[in-house]
A and B are shown apart, each in its own frame.
Chain A
Amino acid sequence: MPAQQAEARATMKIVVAIKQVPARDSQLRVAASGRWIEEEGLEYEINEPDAYALEAGLRLKEKHGGEVIALCAGPARAAKAILEALAKGADRAIHIEEDATALDPLARARQLAAAVKSEAPDLVLTGLQSEDLGYGQTGVILAELLGLPHSTIIMEIEALPGVIRVKRELEDGWFQHVEMPLPALIAVQSGIGKLRYATLMGIKKAKSKEVRRVTAASLGVEPGAPSISVERLYLPERTKRTQLFEGDPKQAAAQLVEKLRFEARVL
């Protein structure tokens, strides 16, 4: 392969799918419908596993050149997550403006797939799972819909011409390397690299970057009949009786030590 061509192939067009989810420390209440949570008053942030996917994408771009496109499906409020991705270094974004409460990972992946198709990227990156629904399926479904090879729970990504080599986490501290041809989809494990903060310059630049707004309908995605249905959300019941000490920290600490010494007898 001529050197020039090899170099040209090494630059990568990367789509990173991100989701906006309620902030981690949110106090959650079940909505009156029982089908979702009460959204009023909630703060939102980029789903942390997706922030790592974005980080991985930005690092690949820094190494190989190319372009990082942030892709986000969500209501108008998701514009904030998109702006954050642009401020961190994504070159442009696609916002699929749809209600966030679609509880069906296949329906959501169909929308994402339609948007990815229009870009024909070399690599699609997703987080491993969302912190709200936690299905952990969107990336793999997306790969299947797009006909791409994939690998999940990835700790390292090495791009070679036409091929990608990843380090996949197995259970109990084991790993393996997996190679596959490009284009491909990789679901990134949290911790793949230290997350960057947006710089002041990045924040300034973000506002002038391109955000393409589309809808499921404009992408030609029909809402199909879902094969699962959400019946009811509720707060879990405690299965174990916990002895709780509240109030003054000193007193609570003394009570706890007493219990550990004389009741549980572990000290």
Chain B
Amino acid sequence: MSVLAVLEQRGGQWHRMSFETLAAAQQMAEELGTTASAAVLGHGVDALAKELAAKRLDRVYALEHELLKEYTPDAFTLALAEHIDRSKPALVLFPHTYQVRDFLPKLATRLDRIAVSDVVAHRVEGGTLTLVRQLFQGKVNVDVCFSGAAPHFASLQAGAYRADRVVAGSAAVEAVAPALSPSGIRTRPGEPFRESQRAVDLSAAELIVSVGRGIKEAGNIPLIENLAKALGAELAASRPICDAGWLPMERQVGSSGQTVAPKLYMAVGISGAIQHLVGMKGARTVVAINKDADAPIFEIADYGIVGDLFQVVPALIDALKK
């Protein structure tokens, strides 16, 4: 009855969120008075398993199969369902990555469970684990508990746990050979590719002005361009603006766009959905301009102006020119 962290890798490289999940598993195991283990799936994962063997874990499972080389929801579900059935963990934790979003609900459903996805925090009281997740794009929090029998499943939001808290130690590695056959795999994945070389590298920008839904229509974008010009900043946007074609995709900041860490990030008319926040949390100073005082962006902002951006931005441009 232990905690199992299922870690993500691709081509022998860890996903950056994997060790956040590992740290969370160690922490929860300690609080629940049990042990943590870790599993890694793929083809040629020996070196990664060896790396995990130097962490404080009960066991490291290396699920090795050539049909796990490229991710498919069928193969990952089959391999993990079999492994969980055999090793019987009480709690299985995943990083909330795009890949996990693609197969975790399938895995949980196959085992007649519900995964608690996108968890931001937890607490243990009297041996009971409570998970915290966000509703309404981060406007409301909810406490969730597991009510049925183990195994329980949860995925953890990027940045919710700190990778540098992983505790060193030693663990035995156990090689696991899942029973997989090509006939059980229905999707055929292609090689990952990038659309084109990015013309705009926002990751190097010192100052960024970013625009969101609050701008209302394409015709209002020049107002934000003028603000960026007055600041000497690069122009960026949240996803809906790029989806609508008001700014090119290469200017998108967030989980599906670029990750930035400027000195100044000024978010104009951006409410601050988590998909956006993960792309800019590393900014040194965050400014938010939004008419909704309850917008989640204010939770991470150092400075904020609550007001109508169509009045605030022109005033700001004037003030910058002084």
Contacts and interface: CB of A to CB of B under 8 A. Distances in A.
Interface in A76-105: 104-105
A205 to B, nearest CB: 27
A198 to B, nearest CB: 18
Interface stretch (A3-11, A64-72, A209-217, A256-264): A256-264
Interface stretch (B53-61, B134-142, B166-174): B134-142
B193 A176 contact: yes
B44 interface: no
Contacts of A171: 97-98, 255-256
Contacts of B194: 173-175
Interface residues of A, number: 78
A249 interface: yes
A25 B292 contact: yes
Contact of B148 (A26, A225, A233): A225
Nearest to A257: B319
Interface in B68-101: 73-74, 97-98, 101
Interface stretch (A12-20, A114-122, A140-148): A140-148
B114 A178 contact: no
Contact of B243 (A175, A191, A236, A240): A191
Interface in A216-242: 225-236, 238-240, 242
B193 A254 contact: no
Contact of A253 (B104, B193, B294, B312): B312
B294 to A, nearest CB: 7
A176 B70 CA distance: 11
Main secondary structure of the interface of B (DSSP, over half): mixed
Contact of A243 (B112, B303, B315): B303
A227 B315 contact: no
Interface in B182-196: 186-195
19 contacts: A22-B136, A132-B135, A135-B105, A136-B105, A141-B106, A150-B187, A153-B101, A176-B190, A177-B190, A230-B144, A232-B143, A235-B141, A242-B304, A244-B305, A252-B312, A259-B303, A260-B264, A264-B264, A266-B264
Given A106-B109, A140-B73, A227-B114, 10 more contacts: A27-B294, A132-B136, A136-B117, A153-B98, A175-B193, A176-B192, A227-B113, A228-B148, A244-B303, A259-B303
